[in-house]
Structure 1
Amino acid sequence: MILPIAGILVLGSCKDFIEPSIEDKKVFVNAPADSTQTSTYLQTFWWEEVEDALSYRVQIVTPGFANASRLIMDTLVTGNKFLYTLDPGFYEWRIRGENGSSSTFYATQMLTVFESNIGSQVLQVNSPANGLLTNLPETEFAWNNLYGAKVYRLQVDTNNFRDEKVVYLDRTTTALDLKVHFSKDQTYQWRVRAEQDSAVSKWSTVSVIRYDTTPPSVVTLVSPTKGASTASPVSLQWKAMTDASSYQLYVYRSDTTTLYHPSFPMTLKVANYSFKEGVFGEVVYWKVRAADLAGNWGAFSELRSFTIQ
């Protein structure tokens, strides 16, 4: 009984080293169903995930692959949903799963999009991602073209659009992007819509962006104490900080300017480091600074020395 079980274990572990082929598999499409006719420009392409597929290739052409006049989209997607805004027209789209060594059969569907009033449409935004945390004073907002639009209106607010007459920014553009400068560390909400002479589209879903330029406070070194003599390896420790996402450790030779090793400065997620270099009697200097999630670097700690014993 032992040999068959061992064999099963070996076969099970092979999958971790040999990528399974997915050539005989097919992606099953959930939506839009084949030959769908719709007046909605923003389409959600949705399918069942295929085991061992790492990504999915989505291709869209008009009017069909046999007589394509234009390639609309050819992209790789992770997950099982893809949103894209189409103009009115006749389309054929297909999808297949892929991994590093093989791909599935294509699943191919027809789709017809009819022209409709812009008031029933929703604009598709591209960037920035919802919840973005940034320390850059200028951020580019971008969205997809919406058929029938003459201009696009971008609104940015700090009060979640409770009073639409008083917002942080309200600007129109004929372009598909707009750069916005932030002047104050704060959380901002933003949305965009398309407009024409007689109608406006629905607002996009409200997204959030946080602007943060405040650096973490100065790191406090703990041990070894200043000028201490200590045996190797030396445990360098400093106080962990709630506003820090990482730390940058500098270690210098006795001249206080030459980095001890090419691996320094070293970025760490924890508030300690085991220093295993050095020789007996050598004086070593070190300092640390912290960074937050927005990428702001705080000031350096004091430059402290220790002697290896």
Structure 2
Amino acid sequence: MRKYVKYITIAYIGFFIGCDDIIEDDITNDIVTTVAPQDMTQIEGNSVQFRWNQIDGADEYRIQINNQSSNAIILDSLVNTTLFNYAMNPGTYQWRVRGENFAYDTAYSFNSSFSVISSIDLSGQTVLLNSPLNNLYTNDVAITFSWEGISTATFYKFQILRVDGSEETVIFEDQNVVDTSITIGNTIITEDAEYIWQVSAENDTSFTDYFRRTFFIDTQNPVSPSLITPAVGQNFTTSQEVNFTWNFNNDTGTIQSGIIGTIQIASDENFSNIVLSESNATGNFINTFDTTGAYYWRVRGVDEAGNTGDYNASGQFNVN
């Protein structure tokens, strides 16, 4: 079914821009050859590197990994290279890969089985971080950090660093975390800024590198936006498009997370009779009105960190 959808899409786009611009190589009969891990390979540690040969005409490759014990797909991902690194727990697995472009897919490669076994040597192994996600924006300064355990690690080193330009300053460190999570109270992170959290696994004889993610603390509410159009008192006719525009360019917060504007349109200046409410991040909204009369509109922002700003002083326009 997917291939038919691609053909329809190509035909539709080609009608407007010409076939020469969107023709893709037909890779249907090509075969991706896996390089590593080969069938029946045994890998010590938890870092697995998957490699395969390039297919001319393939823009991306879809790699799938199956846990043989549970018979569940644990990874289904598109990558644009012929090399993929992944941290895995001990167990037995199968993997396969195929090439894709806008119009065509190859068949999947033959399944290759491999096993991952624990190793006492932690050097070269990976600490797989769970949460918070990389580049998270939040207004909550009490955060629980978690990661996947390595069976041969006896403890973990955990750090939080504050980022100021090119400088990174350690503001919290625990060098003996025996669990795979740690909760930081609201006395450690005290200001809006960019931060890094990182974890290293250790035992008596070896240790991993630090593995890190970035997060942003933003506790400031978005400022009220500037209303641009329509102008106050501007007149429109029924069924005429009214273009509402606004911006948050006056935001001066230390961390400026993305803002989604919520527009409300009412038939009274107290906004007790709201006729329309809409949210978007573009700063632009178009609507038509079939009922004549005076209308009032206002906008407020909700940012990516979860902060909600105040509505601005409302605008007003007329439909005649």
TM-score of the two chains, using structure 1 as the length reference: 0.71
Residue 197 (structure 2) pairs with residue 190 (structure 1): yes
Of residues 243, 250, 258, the one that matches 2:264 is: 250
- Corresponding residue for residue 159 of structure 2: 155
Of residues 135, 138, 149, the one that matches 1:134 is: 138
**Aligned counterparts, 1:221-260, within 5 A:** 221-226=227-232, 228-232=233-237, 233=240, 234-241=242-249, 243=251, 245-254=259-268, 256-260=271-275
Contact 1:252 1:260 in 2 (8 A): yes
Contact 1:216 1:297 in 2 (8 A): yes
The DSSP-based 3-state class of the residue aligned with 1:158 is: strand
1:102/1:180 CA distance change after superposition, 3 Å: farther
- Corresponding residue for residue 217 of structure 1: 223
- Corresponding residue for residue 74 of structure 2: 74
- Describe the superposition over 1:28-86 as per-residue Cα deviations: whole angstroms up to 9, x where unpaired: 3243345555544322324457759884321244xxxxxxx676963322226251234
Rounded to whole Å, the distance in 2 between the matches of 1:117 and 1:130 is: 27
- Describe the superposition over 1:185-213 as per-residue Cα deviations: whole angstroms up to 9, x where unpaired: 111122112233x2452233333211112
- Corresponding residue for residue 296 of structure 1: 307
Rounded to whole Å, the distance in 2 between the matches of 1:30 and 1:239 is: 52
Contact 2:45 2:121 in 1 (8 A): no
**Stretch deviating more after TM superposition (52-61 or 299-308):** 52-61
1:72/1:274 CA distance change after superposition, 3 Å: closer
Of residues 276, 279, 284, the one that matches 2:291 is: 279
Rounded to whole Å, the distance in 1 between the matches of 2:201 and 2:72 is: 21
- Corresponding residue for residue 58 of structure 1: 65
The DSSP-based 3-state class of the residue aligned with 2:297 is: strand
Partner amino acid, structure 2, of 1:284: Y
Rounded to whole Å, the distance in 1 between the matches of 2:143 and 2:27 is: 41
Q: Which has the larger radius of gyration?
A: 1
Rounded to whole Å, the distance in 2 between the matches of 1:190 and 1:268 is: 29
Gaps of 5+ in 2: 1-5, 13-25, 252-257
Rounded to whole Å, the distance in 2 between the matches of 1:266 and 1:298 is: 14
- Corresponding residue for residue 207 of structure 1: 213
The number of residues matched between the two structures is 281
Rounded to whole Å, the distance in 2 between the matches of 1:237 and 1:52 is: 38
- Describe the superposition over 1:207-259 as per-residue Cα deviations: whole angstroms up to 9, x where unpaired: 32111122222122344454x25123444343452646432211012362122
Contact 2:32 2:106 in 1 (8 A): no
The DSSP-based 3-state class of the residue aligned with 2:244 is: strand
Rounded to whole Å, the distance in 2 between the matches of 1:16 and 1:163 is: 49
Contact 1:29 1:47 in 2 (8 A): yes
Of residues 31, 48, 54, the one that matches 1:43 is: 48
- Percent identity, aligned pairs only, is 19
Rounded to whole Å, the distance in 2 between the matches of 1:122 and 1:168 is: 22
Of residues 159, 178, 193, the one that matches 1:174 is: 178
**Aligned counterparts, 1:19-38, within 5 A:** 26-34=31-39, 36=41, 38=43
